[in-house]
Structure 1
Amino acid sequence: MTNQLKSVRRDFTLLLLASICTGIYGGLYDPIFNNFLSDTYQIGEALRGALEFPRELPGFLTVFISGLLIALPDTRIAFLALLALAASLFGFGLWAPGLGVAVFWMLTWSVGAHLYMAVYNSIGMNLAEPGQTGQRMGLLGSANTTASLLGYLLIWWGFKYAGMTYQASFLLAGSAVLAAAVCLLLMRPLRPAKPRRAFVYRREYRLYYLLSVLFGARKQIFLTFGPWVLIKLFHQPAATFAVLGLVGTVLGIFFRYALGIAIDRLGERKIIFWESVLLVVICLSYGFARFIFPAGTALQVIYACFIADQLLFACLLARSTYLHKILQKPEDLTPTLAMGVSVDHAVSMSVPVLGGLLWEAAGFQYVFLVAALIAMVNCAVALYIPAHAPIKQAAARAAN
């Protein structure tokens, strides 16, 4: 085994450990955040939607923030991103006396989370062998999902039986992120073979940008208003979200890994198309189950939709692997992923604001009707993805 291969495997192991730590953080943070806002600051639908603008603004600025850090290797950028993410979680746990301070911590969280999102996939794909990108990324996603089980279990047990507080949950989540940051710090600070540009926009990537815009709109509707339906209309506590997270996580362990293999074998076109078809069904069920079924049955339908949507979020991987296959230059990967995050958030900043106003003016069901229309557009766009992506050409470009 060559020294280079040993180094690659060591770095992949460290990235795998970082994925496990961030999985624990996600299991602690995801099920409590919306309940934390509702219980602590007693906000309504319009304000909840409006809060997504400052929370998602750093996501829009990701391409510029990563550009400022262009001289640093991806692993060091990821390390700094996780430090910012940990700082925000400790801030929520130690000092968030009013909504204004909470918004500051949201901004800090967003800087770290979105910057890490942009470089994490780049690091993982650069550590994968040609033709096995989906499988390697699926393995990382599966490890992350498995680890989140611990976080969800702690939230479920803590809030249901042990009197756990939001503050303690944030502090534990921050500690897990710090551990992930240490893993990134121990990785080799590899730089691309050729200097990369801070900003990349190529006509050849326009379909990837469009997919990112549509994903941003669809994603933010569910992240913001999916939990809000259960909290405000069905009065569900944090422990319920922990249980839903547990179920989704157990299924996701197998789903993520299988998804990675399916992407390699079937291609991104089929994955993204059928993801969009399922999303249309989920959106319509989310919006109208309450009017079609008795209350108890409607709640079960919403539970199922919540879990199904949680699983389908993993299909974001197909967009990243599609980009990896069509790269014109290897050094385009990180800045183009950052551009994808930015165009994603150009939409996701405004969608929750409009969604909150639509909810209050007409009803929550219309928010999800709009989401269904977005999913239908995504179906049509997916058909423009080549049925057989040029894996060999991408690998050849990367080798040059």
Structure 2
Amino acid sequence: MRIVRLSEAPSLPLWQRPVTLLFLMAMAMPVAFATWSSLLNNFVIEVADFDGSDIGWLHTVREVPGFFAVGVIALILVVREQVLGLVALALLGVATALTAQFPSLGGILTITMLSSIGFHYFETVNQSLQLQWIDRERAPQVLGWILAAGSAATLVAYVLIVLTWESFDLSYSFVYWLSGGATALIAVFAFFAYPQFESPDPQFKTLILRRRYWLYYALQFMSGARRQIFVVFAGFMMVERFGFEVHQVTALFLINLVANMVLAPVFGRVVAVFGERAALLFEYGGLVVVFLAYGGVYWFGWGVVLASALYVVDHLFFALRLAMQTYFQKIADPSDIAPTAAVAFTINHIAAVFLPAALGYLWLVTPGGVFLLAAGIAGGSFALGLLVPRHPAPGNETIFARRGLPAPAE
């Protein structure tokens, strides 16, 4: 397979350039993953009779491969990052296609584990390639457009589900086969159609933990804990408490996607203008309010309209996660990006391994308490966000650096 240096990429046709491949992968992944997510709560409740504890265990199993994303470091010793990312994307597609063939707790957990390996290893490599292939000056804007492209692909999938699910009496099996198969085929096409792009900065292929990245690690940990509560329980609430059907859940996702398509590029511009610190504080402060309001839905009987609005707003805040990526890009040694992406993904999933299952039991007792805990986690993230400097750079990783304190030794 042909190897092309990034400096030579502008001579390639536009469709074969590295950024185009990033856009293609960003659009392929959600076709399988977003479809799986939109059908999941109805599928497990209607077919496998899941309760809150079961869904908690499902998501705990789903996040175990994320905890072991550090294994990417070992794999890139023998496989190029680009190849590994496409193989993982194909695995996600194939496992998604097979989901409805195992309609039991054990079967769903097993196929979920396989699809999760594909998803998490793809995401680890994809984030690394984005930071290696996109110039720092353009990163916030380009990442915003990549998020919008992924949202556009998901939008197509959601529109098709909303328009055809009831009209054509579709089955879970058919939709999973179609969406997963499409993702797998795109991965195979990208493997053969694109050259291998050589980064100008060779990546370290050993486990790297640097003390000067400690704030980035802490933000990743809190992000993972916070994200789990939303991913696991926000959608589950809409089905269990308000009786949402597949097309209604998908319509809610559809609203999220349209908003993300419009706002993700705007968020990229906001990060570029106002900086990572302001963007992260806005995200974390907003999430405190959102999670407290989720609790109010249970404690005070607030209705479905508010719950739906909160779901959309909650989802929008996650688009600002690009600020954490560009923060790391600005403070990192370019050779650290691949191994640190793997380490950060593992840190992000530490809470994910135990939190969904543990909170599944709490959900059975007090669903509002789950969201109160999430508000506390968002508050902790806000406190950490205050330590991000206005102008991150190597040697200026936290606000302590500008106070004249020495950078920690590696």
Paired residue for 1:371? 374
Mapping for residues 278-297 of structure 1, pairs under 5 Å: 278-292=286-300
Alignment-derived partner of residue 235 in structure 1: 243
TM-score normalized with structure 2 length: 0.89
Match of 2:106 among 100, 109, 113: 100
Query: How many percent of aligned residue pairs carry the same amino acid?
Result: 27
Partner of 2:69: 62
Summarize deviations over 1:60-95 as a string: whole Å, max 9, x none: 0010244233332221110111121112112214x2
Q: Is the 8 A contact 2:85 2:125 kept in 1?
A: yes
Which structure 2 residues correspond to residues 217-366 of structure 1 after superposition, within 5 A?
217-292=225-300, 298-327=303-332, 329-361=333-365, 363-366=366-369
- Over 6 Å off, 4+ runs: 391-394
With normalisation by structure 1, the TM-score equals 0.91
CA distance in 2 between counterparts of 1:355 and 1:334 reads: 32
Counterpart of 2:67 in structure 1: which amino acid?
Answer: F
For structure 1, list consecutive stretches of 5 or more residues without a partner in the other structure. Answer: 395-400
Q: Work out whether 1:50 is the aligned partner of 2:57.
A: yes
Q: 1:335 to 1:3 in 2, by over 3 A?
A: closer
Higher relative helix content: 1
Q: CA deviation at 1:24?
A: 3.0
In structure 1, C-alpha distance between the alignment counterparts of 2:189 and 2:285, rounded to whole Å? 38
Q: What secondary structure is seen at the aligned counterpart in 1 of 2:349? A: helix
1:73–1:191 CA contact under 8 A, matched in 2: no
Equivalent position SS for 1:190 = strand
Bigger drift between 108-117 and 186-195 goes to 186-195
Greater shift in the superposed pair: 383-392 or 171-180: 383-392
| Alpha-carbon contact 1:66-1:115 (below 8 Å) kept | no
Aligned length: 387
In structure 1, what is the Cα distance between the partners aligned to 2:178 and 2:189?
A: 17
Q: CA deviation at 1:49?
A: 0.9
Q: Could you list the per-position Cα deviations for residues 248-288 of structure 1 after superposition, in whole angstroms to 9, with x for gaps in the alignment?
A: 11111011111111112211111111101110111011111
Deviation sequence 1:176-222 (CA, Å, 0-9, x none): 21133135413332344435223111111111110111011100011
Assess if the C-alpha contact under 8 Å between 2:56 and 2:358 holds in 1.
yes
Moved more, 385-394 or 163-172: 385-394
Aligned counterpart in structure 1 of residue 92 of structure 2, from 85, 88, 108: 85
Return the alpha-carbon distance in structure 2 between the equivalents of residues 129 and 343 of structure 1: 26
Shift of 1:26: 4.1
Partner of 1:147: 153
**What's the offset of the Cα at 1:19?**
2.0
Give the CA deviation at 1:391. Answer: 8.8
- Provide the residue aligned with 2:21 in structure 1: 14
2:215 aligned residue: 207
Deviates more, 1:60-69 or 1:212-221: 60-69
| Post-superposition offset of 1:27 | 4.1
Listed as ranges, the gaps of 5+ residues in structure 2 are 1-6, 398-410
Shift of 1:293: 5.0
Q: What is the aligned-residue RMSD (CA, Å)? A: 2.1
Sort the Cα spacing of 1:97 and 1:131 in 2 relative to 1 into closer, same or farther, 3 A. same
Q: Does 1:164 align with 2:164?
A: no
